[in-house]
């Protein structure tokens, strides 16, 4: 599917230039002349990305950003600021913008930023969180989930560096966000960077920032992620991918919290808490000479190991219930649960992709399901008997026994919470609440009757 982009700028020529360029790269683009018009369009249509100028009449970029973060948090926001307003750009990032562009800019920079944003949309490593998930920190009641939840709650108030270890898809960014949200920095920025998503030269610029003219294509000054995380939390995912050169420079930042932008001479400082994550064994990387030992010791102050899903199979029914409830709202479906044979297959599978793989499979099944429940025939072919792993004795039976209660409780609780939140945000207006939920007004009324919700 093409990325849908809303360009917001009171300058007609700027909108036309951006639209022509973005459509040439296959994006679907709409325009708004100011923040108020953009807000009205967002009520009628869903956009993946909003690119907005800062200075506009009626509703400026900061006001539009606040509106988008509150009412359309799924949309990524990119701010365009005039040359010389770097402080405004940094403030926008701290208030939830995914990125920013300073004028004058070149189209290569625009496409790079859009590509980064698409990576967040299409390949976000961790599954999306349910409402108020920051207080729960991990779905499930298995001993493994309880241990992780307890450790997160213990380390969150401290300001120490945390190193999160776990396989891909186990929820490393979700855990990092939970630590941030439960800390004293919770209302300050959470800046996330996937170190594996950039080449060495680009990653250095992303982390340290760069001065105008520092290299070919650096048409304006750009603040780095160290700078943007000031007062908040910096989350570096896939930290094991740092090159030797960046490891040396990064070590100095950790020791002194001081750095220079690429091409700059002025020393800057930033007060941030560091949370790093990796699916590699950094100790093995140290022994191979691929990772600095002194940097490893700086990172490994508080290790947090996230268990793979195959070690917490008793949580699978609860996770399935959570995903069904969320996707019922997102997809407009009315799936009520999972057939017992399908559940036993899901609980017996090895889950190499962990929670992310489970989330994707549940969404696929819900789109293709022909009835009110997900059946064995709705599962993808690779979940056949020949590929499933033998569970511990009694695991399937326990999962089947817990299915009815776990799914019903999760689905009903979450669906009711989604509906009440939408009605509250829309002041009790059922038509607008239905649009917000992505379902028809009739479906909303039926759900309100089912859950005895009184406006």
Answer yes or no: CATH 3.40.50.300 is held by domain 133-307: yes
Q: What is the pLDDT of residue 329?
A: 78
Q: Kindly report which listed range (83-97, 320-334, 433-447) carries the lowest average pLDDT score.
A: 83-97
Burial category of 204 from C-beta neighbours within 10 Å (exposed 0-12, middle 13-18, buried 19 and up): buried
What is the arithmetic mean of pLDDT over 336-355? 89
Lowest mean pLDDT among 100-104, 105-109, 281-285, 349-353: 105-109
| Percentage of residues in the chain having pLDDT higher than 70 | 83
Label residue 321 exposed, middle or buried (CB < 10 Å: 0-12, 13-18, 19+). buried
Closest CA to 275 of 321, 236, 217: 236
pLDDT value at position 388?
A: 42
Please, are residues 273 and 183 in contact by the beta-carbon 8 Å criterion?
yes
Ranges of CATH 1.10.8.60 domains, the chain: 310-450
Range ranked top by mean pLDDT from 75-84, 292-301, 323-332: 292-301
Task: Please tell me the predicted confidence (pLDDT) of residue 239.
Answer: 95
The answer to whether 358 and 323 are in contact (CB under 8 A) is yes
**375-401 pLDDT per residue, tens:** 988 998 888 543 444 443 444 444 444
Pinpoint the residues of the chain covered by CATH 3.40.50.300: 133-307
- Cβ–Cβ contacts within 10 Å for residue 455, how many? 11
Res 21: pLDDT: 84
Instruction: Say if CB 236 and CB 98 are below 8 A apart.
Output: no
The answer to whether residues 368 and 376 touch, using CB atoms and an 8 Å cutoff, is: no
Measured between alpha carbons, how far is residue 266 from residues 91, 205, 211, 259, 261 in Å?
20, 15, 10, 8, 8
Mean pLDDT of 303-330: 89
Report the mean per-residue pLDDT for the chain: 82
Q: Is the pLDDT of residue 287 over 90?
A: yes
| Whole-model pTM over 0.95 | no
Q: Which residues contact 266 (CB under 8 A, 6 or more apart)?
A: 260
Picking from 16-25, 70-79, 355-364, 415-424, which range would have the lowest pLDDT averaged per residue?
A: 415-424
**Where does 349-429 have alpha helices with state H?**
354-368, 395-425
- pLDDT at residue 18 in the model: 87
More confident: 129 or 140: 140
Higher per-residue pLDDT: 190 or 110: 190
pLDDT of residue 99: 79
Q: Measuring CA to CA, which residue among 284, 281, 317, 280 is closest to residue 407?
A: 317
**Assigned CATH for 4-122:** 3.40.50.2300
Q: What is the mean pLDDT of residues 110-138?
A: 51
CA angle 210, 204, 114 (to 5 degrees): 75
Mean pLDDT computed over 6-27: 87
Tens-digit pLDDT profile for residues 323-337? 898 888 778 888 988
Give residue 137's pLDDT: 54
pLDDT level of residue 135 (50, 70, 90 thresholds)? very low
pLDDT tier at 199, thresholds 50, 70, 90: confident
What pLDDT score does 213 carry?
A: 75
The pairs formed by 440-448 with CB atoms below 8 angstroms and a separation of 24 or more are 440/332, 443/332, 443/334, 444/419, 447/415, 447/419, 448/419
Residue 130 has pLDDT above 50, yes or no: no
- Name beta bridge partners: 167: none
In this structure, what token pair is assigned to residue 163? 């190193």
pLDDT of residue 373 exceeding 50:
yes
Q: Give buried/exposed letters for 89-123 (b at 16+ CB in 10 A, else e).
A: bbbbbbebbbbbbbeebeeebbebbbebbeebeee
* Closest by Cα among 394, 397, 443 to 418: 443
DSSP conformation class of 263: T
Distance separating alpha carbons of residues 256 and 295, to the nearest angstrom: 13
73 phi and psi angles, rounded to 5 deg: -65, -15
Q: Which two tokens stand for residue 178?
A: 């939970």
Mean pLDDT along residues 402-412: 54
Among 80, 37, 81, which Cα is nearest to 59's? 37
Specify whether the CB–CB gap between 224 and 90 falls below 8 A: no
**Which of the following CATH numbers is that of domain 310-450: 2.40.40.20, 2.60.120.920, 1.10.8.60, 3.40.50.300?**
1.10.8.60
pLDDT score recorded for residue 131: 34
Nearest to 39 by CA among 12, 1, 77: 77
- 33-45 burial string, b = 16+ CB within 10 Å, else e? bbbbbbbebbeee
């Amino acid at each position: 599917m093409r990325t849908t982009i809303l360009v917001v700028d009171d300058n007609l020529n700027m909108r036309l230039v951006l639209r022509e360029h973005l459509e040439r790269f296959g994006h679907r683009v709409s325009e708004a002349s100011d923040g108020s018009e953009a807000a009205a369009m967002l009520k009628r249509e869903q956009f993946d990305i909003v690119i907005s100028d800062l200075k506009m009449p009626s509703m400026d970029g900061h006001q539009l950003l606040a509106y988008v973060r509150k009412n359309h948090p799924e949309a990524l926001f990119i701010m365009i600021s005039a040359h010389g307003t770097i402080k405004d750009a940094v403030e926008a990032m701290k208030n939830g913008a995914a990125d920013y562009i300073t004028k004058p800019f070149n189209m290569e920079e625009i496409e790079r930023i859009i590509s980064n944003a698409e990576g967040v949309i299409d390949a976000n490593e961790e599954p999306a969180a349910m409402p108020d998930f920051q207080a729960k920190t991990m779905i499930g009641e298995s001993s493994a989930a309880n241990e992780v939840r307890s450790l997160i709650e213990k380390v969150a108030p401290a300001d120490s560096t945390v190193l999160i270890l776990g396989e891909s898809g186990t929820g490393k960014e979700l855990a990092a966000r939970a630590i941030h949200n439960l800390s004293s920095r919770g209302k300050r920025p959470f800046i996330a960077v996937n170190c594996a998503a950039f080449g060495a030269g680009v990653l250095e610029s992303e982390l340290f920032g760069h001065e105008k003219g520092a290299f070919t294509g650096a048409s304006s000054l750009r603040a780095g992620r160290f700078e943007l995380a000031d007062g908040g939390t910096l989350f570096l995912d896939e930290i094991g991918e740092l090159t030797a050169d960046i490891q040396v420079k990064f070590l100095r930042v950790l020791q002194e919290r001081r750095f220079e932008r690429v091409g700059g001479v002025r020393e800057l400082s930033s007060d941030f808490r560091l949370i790093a994550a990796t699916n590699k064994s950094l100790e093995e990387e140290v022994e191979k000479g691929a990772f600095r030992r002194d940097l490893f010791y700086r990172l490994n102050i508080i290790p947090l190991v996230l268990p793979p899903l195959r070690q917490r199979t008793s949580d699978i029914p609860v996770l399935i219930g959570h995903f069904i409830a969320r996707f019922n709202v997102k997809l407009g479906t009315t799936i009520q649960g999972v057939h017992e044979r399908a559940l036993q297959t899901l609980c017996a599978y090895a889950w190499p992709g962990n929670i992310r793989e489970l989330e994707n499979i549940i969404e696929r099944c819900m789109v293709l399901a022909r009835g009110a429940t997900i059946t064995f025939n709705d599962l993808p072919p690779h979940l056949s008997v020949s590929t499933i792993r033998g569970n511990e004795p009694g695991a399937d039976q326990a999962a089947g026994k817990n299915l009815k209660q776990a799914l019903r409780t999760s689905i009903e609780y979450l669906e009711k919470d989604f509906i009440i939140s939408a009605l509250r945000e829309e002041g009790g207006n059922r038509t607008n609440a239905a649009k917000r939920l992505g379902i028809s007004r009739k479906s909303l009324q039926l759900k309100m009757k089912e859950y005895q919700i009184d406006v």
